[in-house]
Chain A
């Protein structure tokens, strides 16, 4: 049953990821944003299959909720009409596809030749309590992730102020 769910979520993530990048029917950025939401939701499903429940919830809340709303706001604010004029250059198409297919081939071959998961048992449970303990607990005498956690909070404040300064109208 979980195997079937894995294949369903993986196929959904890959198909909608492809439609984000190259939608044959529509060049509208809003369509791409909607398919990106679908990709993110299927990735959250994969996180649940990996027993990372807290991260699945965060993925939905932060990505599908906050980040994508920001994207849609900006797309509609900028009113991108001239999207139709873009043509993909042949040189870029060939070099890009060759580079990406080559990279993907090498990586997939490496994974399936070495089989890093051989014999490993999937044991870890990533509930909220376990993740909170890992973030905030002292191990020995060192607070392992406490300083990075505070720094990330500071980073969010800096980003918020920076975004406001960058996007406000210039007063002469």
Chain B
């Protein structure tokens, strides 16, 4: 089985494994669709689960010690956004990651958060 890292072909040839093969044919998650800024953190150790695909193991190790957004995980794992979403939704369903969905601004409880953003920006 080919793994990232021992590829003999160049970038120009495109992916050797068709992307939909990574998600068992799914272009969209069957259940939840994670926001691009949903924050993900691993709660299990990828080395302890040999049923994970290499891509899932990569995603899991990327967010092992730090919360990362779906967008960051996609960029750092070098996987398209929707593929990342499908893989993460599976990891979530199987209890490998904890996900914090963002609060929509119109549902923010009060002005405190926005003031904190303003103060943060001013002190940049």
Chains A and B are bound partners: no
Interface residues of B (CB under 8 A from A): none
**Chain A contact residues, CB within 8 Å of chain B:** none
